[in-house]
Structure 1
Amino acid sequence: MFSLRTLLGLCSLASAHALSYNTSKIQWGPCNETELPSEYPIECSRLPVPLDYTRPNASETLVLELVKVPATVKPSKGSILLNFGGPGLPARDDLVGALADRLLALSGRSYDLVAFDPRGTGNTLPTACFEPGYESNEFANDLLLGNQSDVQLGRLWARGTTEAEACLARQNETGSLISTAFVARDLISTVDALGEDGMLRYWGFSYGTTLGATVSAMFPDRIHRMVLDGQQNPHEYYHAQADFQEWTDSDKVFSAIFSGCVAAPSNCALATGNNATAADLEHAVWDLVDTLKYRPLALGSYIVDYSVLKGLLQASLYDSAGWPQLATWLNLLITKQYAVLEDLLTAAFPTDESTVLASLRTVEALRGIHCGDNDVRTEGLEGMMSVVERLYRTSRVMGDAAIGNYFACAQWRIEPRERYTGTFDIKTKNPVLFIGNTFDGHTPLASARNLSATFEGSVVLEVNGYGHSSLAVPSACTIRTTSAYWLDGTLPNEGVVCPSDAPLYSDVTWADVIAKVYGNDTGPGHKRTVPASPVSRSLFGPVLRLRSGESG
């Protein structure tokens, strides 16, 4: 454990090392189109940074693979570095995919957007505790929710034991080098290598907000602009047995799936041809969850059981744009149109080996980063039972989602070379903008307000919509507000609430809203979909794929 005095010394030492290490600008060039396909004129580069920031005189380096989406308004005002969460989610693919057009719009189209896969993810010190094949399949088959059965908690605890031991045996060195504190230093190293003004411009989503809070605490004088969007509670992330606050509003968002459906029956299969109330529909879905718990459904090579259906419901909280599709699937289950549902599931959840392995690597990355960052260890399953009970009380829909993650972290045995242990009472050189949705099932608005209160001069922008982070809520007001912040540092007044321009179960997309603000949209125009948040990818994605008859 680092003392505050030691930590401050390391901060200044590593910062000075980064400044001297990168003496020239990054050289951008063409990207490998096979590895990183994109509709945008993207550019790529490779940046060597210190492998271990606690050994400033060592020669070992780590290569960060950078991607840039250039500003469409020239000349560029500089670069915004991005992190899309997890922890464990690679950033490059998401940036050059469906997110680029809206991020350009939200930043005034005047900044280059830059991302790299953080340590532990993608090709950057990837975490792999289990060998492909039998070991990975066994691991995947244990990715079940805590309330799957009355014996599941014991099995998850045992799985956490084997996982902690396997990672210690195979990833002890790598696992000690992937902490959030080191990624914060990678951000500063990248800023220094960009050769701009030496100041960090950063936009973090979900776990990326914890990374942003950490780099702000470690380097407060290096912050020029920062948006923390979908705020995670960093105190719980580092110091609690579970992320309790994350699920505070989950059940409210879940109920809105059904109230929104009843209000727009023409675009919601669950409400078509009946007079069911929102409460009726929600009750019917919970009955379906309970039925599948004891009588799983075989659909071709797929087995749809409690964990599969509950996982789909949990993942749906990330973006209301997916609710019409979810309603279709639920209606097919309830009305027993199994052949149609099987075709839809086959298209949505491929079971090829590469897809499954990529999902599992994301799970392993999440465990490696989060468990190493977290400083709480617990002896025995009994010591975690009060945690489980509190999670179940907090949310019916999300309470059992991440039990396996918390059980693994409770037994983790890899200690990072550096773990951030300081406070978040911070005065950054320039004020930070926090963004929180009124209804976010994973990072409630309360988390943004609580952390903003400790960031001097910061302001919270509330977006009145459903989903995880502002990216899930198309809003012209959000575009104008965030663009003003990025372009000239203008913060919204306290209490400003941006309305959503996409009613639930409507066909309004981000492309529609961008065109409303900018006129003729120069971007390629993507549908209103958001890449699944790290939790949904890493915990829910593999469930259906690996519960099929495929071996991959």
Structure 2
Amino acid sequence: MTPRLLSLYLASLASAGLVASAETPKVNWAPCPAGEFNTTLDLQCGNLTVPLDYTGTAESAKGKTVNLQLVKVLAPTQPSRGGIQMNFGGPGSPARGGTVLYGELLLAGTGTTIPFVCTNNTFTMGQILNEIGSTLESDNAERRSWARGAIDANICKEEGNADEIGQFIGTAFVARDILSVAEAISEDGLIRYWGISYGTTLGATIAAMFPDRIGKMIIDGVSNTRDYYHAHADYEQWSDTDLVFRYFFDSCITAPPGECALAAFNKTASELHDDAWAFIEGLRISPVAAGTTLVDMGTFKSIILGGLKSVGGWPAMSATLAAILYGNETESKAAIQSFVQPSTATQYAIASFPIVLSQYAILCSDRTVRLDSFEAQEQAGAFKKLYEISRFAGDTVSPITAHCTQWPWKAREVYKGDFQVKTKNPILLASNTRDAHTALRSAFNVSSGFEGSAVLEVNGTGHATFGAPSLCGFLATRAYWQNGMLPKPGSVCDAPHPFSSYTWDDVLEEVAGQRKNNTPAEKRRVSPRWWM
């Protein structure tokens, strides 16, 4: 687990080399350990030592440091224009894993270690994960969630190392890590950064804390930073979730023949949508046993919510839903079981536990809102507001609200500014038109605070623009990194139909001039004047 998430991406943008100050600590690069990365990319690994406590005010952290573990991909053309640090989101996800997922596309990947440990007891892990994944569907669910928040904090205190490091894993310290790396990788000390999902909150924090140090920055799949730090919940984040869930069925009906299994039942999009909701609501009363896994409303909705992130999985998700909703009893049970993958559920849950808890720990230590009773929580109306914002996600994401308002550990440093700044160079924000996890409006809201910034909107579906392959989006991103070009206000990049078979491999082939003869024109469409 790596709560301080760093990635180092050395862009393949040929230019004169950049030299850092002689006083700045350097990273000594060497070949990465054999077998760590399953890739043919030319990788090097290195380390950078930074303070555990940048404020220097914590007695328990005096003299203690953190060893940031970095990995870079050598630019194909040397010398490169410099390094781009990346954060793939989370917070708390292992960034080195991003190399495998995104490496061939981004030439990226990293990691760093400062482990937040809540418990090593697998039974306790299961209890915590079960409550986190539940929906607030019973009469006493909100009180239960509040009680669970207090219990989990006590577990982390008594069985883990929360007292030791809980105050040192906040976003402001990660921002300082990013600056330290920028100063150390033989450049001009300017920050070049690409953040996705939570990485956008980190990016906005970096830009606000160090506006004069921004070389270039893209934040993609943008979260509302004011909600993140100062609200009871990330309200705006879920404001388009219901729209995207409905759009899944709308796009199914208009999909190319054979691409969406749900289209075979001669139902309208509204009927498919209503049937899906009827099944989901049925799980509230009658959970289903799928092998060794109990599938209730919360479990099912959480899986669907994850599936809405990337349209690449929509054909498979539609086939599974078709069997669940319209198959016979045997087909439906088999589909449900395959949906939750019970054979690996326990192992996956235990493996993911550190990531889930680090997400809670980072977010909750950053959040400034604290409440001392359930009655105060109820009066604040966070649960009710989340329900009103999203029928689909509101109750699914509510438990973290009860955890954060009771979280005992506050980040040693929290950025307290207003995110109204002018950066040395303008930043680029990006978002899909339809994103179930970070609404498009957040990109425009955050952009309004950064003078000179621009928003790249891709008329696609999925979480961040990586979820919607688009040649136009790729070219716009490349133009920004190469020349600092920004999209014109109001410009929108096209993206293929979500049930098409178009992938990032197709984008790369087109960029390389290797267009397939059967690639439809709408997949290739690029607005000729999207830049400023």
Aligned to 1:503: 497
Q: Which moved more, 1:370-379 or 1:144-153?
A: 144-153
Partner of 1:204: 195
Equivalent-residue separation in structure 1 for 2:373 and 2:208 (angstroms): 34
Cα offset, 1:488, TM superposition: 1.4
Q: Secondary structure at the match of 1:498?
A: strand
Aligned to 1:463, the other structure's residue is in SS state strand
SS at match of 1:401: helix
* CA RMSD of superposed structures (Å): 2.1
Distance 1:192 1:218 in 2: 15
Tell me the amino acid that sits aligned with residue 516 of structure 1.
Answer: E
Show the counterpart of 2:214: 223
Aligned to 1:80: 84
Superposition deviation, residue 234 in structure 1 = 0.5
CA distance, structure 2, for counterparts of residue 225 and residue 287 of structure 1: 47
- With structure 2 as the length reference, what TM-score do the two structures score? 0.87
Residue correspondence of structure 1 range 161-180 to structure 2 within 5 A = 161-169=150-158, 170=160, 171-180=162-171
Q: Secondary structure at the match of 2:421?
A: coil
Q: 1:30 offset after TM fit, Å?
A: 1.9
- Tell me how far apart the structure 2 counterparts of residues 384 and 22 of structure 1 sit (CA, whole Å): 50
Q: Which residue of the other structure, out of 286, 291, 295, is the alignment partner of 1:300?
A: 291
Q: C-alpha deviations, 1:470-525, integer Å up to 9, x for none? A: 1011111111111111011111211221110x31211111101111112359xxxx
Q: Tell whether the 8 Å contact from 2:51 to 2:64 is kept in structure 1 after alignment.
A: yes
Q: Does the Cα contact within 8 Å between 1:267 and 1:505 map onto a contact in 2?
A: yes
- Return the offset for 1:75: 2.6
Q: Equivalent residues in 2 for 1:293-442 (5 A)? A: 293-334=284-325, 335=327, 336=329, 337-338=331-332, 340-341=334-335, 344-345=338-339, 350-351=344-345, 353=347, 355-385=348-378, 386-442=381-437
Deviation at 1:143, TM superposition (A): 2.3
Instruction: Identify if the C-alpha distance between structure 1 residues 377 and 464 changes in structure 2 by more than 3 Å, giving closer, same or farther.
Output: same
Partner of 1:532: none
2-structure distance, mates of 1:461, 1:512 = 21
Taking only the aligned residue pairs, the percentage that are identical comes to 40
Stretch moving more, 512-521 or 286-295: 512-521
| Residue type of the alignment partner of 2:260 | C
Letter of the structure 2 residue corresponding to residue 413 of structure 1: P
Corresponding residue number in structure 2 for 1:271:
263
Shift of 1:465: 0.7
Letter in 2 for 1:128: V
Aligned to 1:451: 446
1:102 corresponds in structure 2 to 105
Q: 1:214 to 1:349 in 2, by over 3 A?
A: farther
The structure-2 alpha-carbon separation of the partners of 1:116 and 1:198, relative to structure 1 and needing over 3 Å to count, comes to same
Alpha-carbon distance in 1 for matches of 2:43, 2:407: 39
Q: Counterpart of 1:461 in 2: which secondary structure? A: strand
Partners of 1:146 and 1:153 within 8 A in 2: no
Equivalent residue letter for 1:127 = F
Deviation at 1:432, TM superposition (A): 0.4
Distance 1:255 1:70, change over 3 A: same
Find the aligned partners of 2:371 and 2:246 in 1 and give their Cα distance.
34
How far did residue 45 of structure 1 move?
A: 1.1
Contact between 1:26 and 1:45, CA under 8 Å: does it hold in 2? yes
Query: Using the alignment, how far apart are the partners of 1:343 and 1:426 within structure 2?
Result: 50
For the residue of structure 2 that corresponds to 1:266, the secondary structure is coil
Q: Secondary structure at the match of 1:419?
A: coil
Q: Which residue of 2 aligns with 1:9?
A: none
> SS at 1:130's partner residue?
coil
Secondary structure of the residue aligned to 2:85 is: strand
Shift of 1:409: 0.1
Pairing of 1:441-520 with structure 2 (within 5 A): 441-500=436-495, 502-519=496-513
SS in 2 for 1:142: helix
2:134 maps to which of 127, 130, 145: 145
Partner Cα distance (1:166, 1:439) in 2: 38
Q: CA deviation at 1:422?
A: 1.4
Q: Is the 8 A contact 1:24 1:195 kept in 2?
A: no
The amino acid of 1:438's aligned partner reads T
**8 Å CA contact retained: 1:22, 1:192:** no
Q: Any idea what SS the aligned residue of 1:156 has?
A: helix
Answer whether contact 1:213 1:424 (CA < 8 A) is retained: yes
- Partners of 1:414 and 1:207 lie apart in 2 by 20
Report whether the alignment pairs 1:289 with 2:280. Answer: yes
Aligned twin of 1:191:
182
Structure 2 residue 248 is the aligned partner of structure 1 residue 248: no
Inter-partner Cα distance in structure 2 for 1:143 and 1:364? 10
Preserved contact between residue 382 and residue 401 of structure 2 (Cα < 8 Å): no
Higher relative contact order, structure no. (Cα contacts within 8 Å, ≥ 6 residues apart): 1
Secondary structure of 2:393's counterpart equals coil
State the Cα distance separating 1:21 from its structure 2 match: 11
Cα distance, 1:349–1:26 mapped onto 2, change above 3 Å: farther
Structure 2, unmatched stretches of 5+, are 1-19, 516-532
Compute the displacement of 1:145 (Å): 3.0
Go from structure 1 to structure 2 and tell me whether the alpha carbon gap of 1:165 and 1:392 turns closer, same or farther (over 3 Å shift). Answer: same
- 2:262–2:321 CA contact under 8 A, matched in 1: yes
**Contact kept? 1:81, 1:115, Cα under 8 Å:** no
- The CA deviation at 1:243 is 0.7
Asked if the contact 1:441/1:467 (under 8 Å) is kept, the reply is yes
Report the CA distance shift for 1:20/1:377 in structure 2 as closer, same or farther (over 3 A). Answer: farther
Matches of 1:313 and 1:347, distance apart in 2:
14
Q: CA deviation at 1:310?
A: 1.0
In structure 2, what is the equivalent of residue 27 of structure 1? 28
Instruction: Report SS of the residue matched to 2:189.
Output: coil
Q: In structure 2, how many angstroms separate the alpha carbons of the residues matched to 1:138 and 1:114?
A: 32
Structure 2 CA distance, aligned partners of 1:253 and 1:78? Answer: 37
